[in-house]
Structure formats: C-alpha cells, structure tokens
Amino acid sequence: MSQDMLAALGTWGPIVLMIAIFYFLLYRPQKIEHKKRAKMLESLKRGDEVVTIGGIYGRITEVQEKKLRLKIANNVEIDVVRASINAKVTEEDA
C-alpha cells in the first residue's frame, strides 16, 4: 500500500465505520420494527382486541380504511384512527 492509500484509510475509515454502526444498530432494527407494525395494522379485523397508544383497551366492531370503531364498554363505542392502535391484545398479554 502506498502512503496515499494509508492516509485515505486513516481519514475515511472511522467515518465509514460510524456509518456502518449507525446502520446496523439504529436504522435497520427500526426499519424491521416499522414493517412489523405496518403488517399488524393492515391485519386488523373485526373482533380483534387491541390497545391504543393512549392505553385504551377495546374490541374492534367496525373496520374502515383509515379508522376503526372500538367497543370499550357496554353501549360505549369510539372511533379511532387506525394508526393509533399500539398492539393487538393476546391471551398471553392479558
């Protein structure tokens, strides 16, 4: 290796290393989590028990393109935006 190549490696090496660390520790896991959330939101159907971002538990009674209707108590239903659903509630969670 020539002196110029070693100097370039010494200059650009840490930057490339930091970009790689950023990608594998921050960007990639966040992208995977985003895909899982999008898949979960797309799979919501009538009868699913869910919890909203605000902590409201309910059962889906109606599904529309951008909003859902949740039954949160007897004779109490609310409309929520689909994106406000945090997770499906399973028997293991309950």
For residue 94, pLDDT over 70 is answered with no
Distance CA 30, CA 68 (A): 26
Q: What pLDDT score was predicted for residue 91? A: 64
Q: What pLDDT score was predicted for residue 22? A: 93
Looking at the structure, do residues 25 and 66 belong to the same domain, yes or no?
A: no
Looking at the structure, do residues 36 and 80 belong to the same domain, yes or no?
A: no
Span 52-76, mean pLDDT?
A: 95
For residue 42, pLDDT over 90 is answered with yes
Looking at the structure, do residues 4 and 35 belong to the same domain, yes or no?
A: yes
Looking at the structure, do residues 35 and 53 belong to the same domain, yes or no?
A: no
Looking at the structure, do residues 54 and 16 belong to the same domain, yes or no?
A: no
Distance CA 8, CA 73 (A): 66
Can you give the residue range of the structural domain that contains 90?
A: 45-94
Distance CA 55, CA 25 (A): 29
Looking at the structure, do residues 50 and 73 belong to the same domain, yes or no?
A: yes
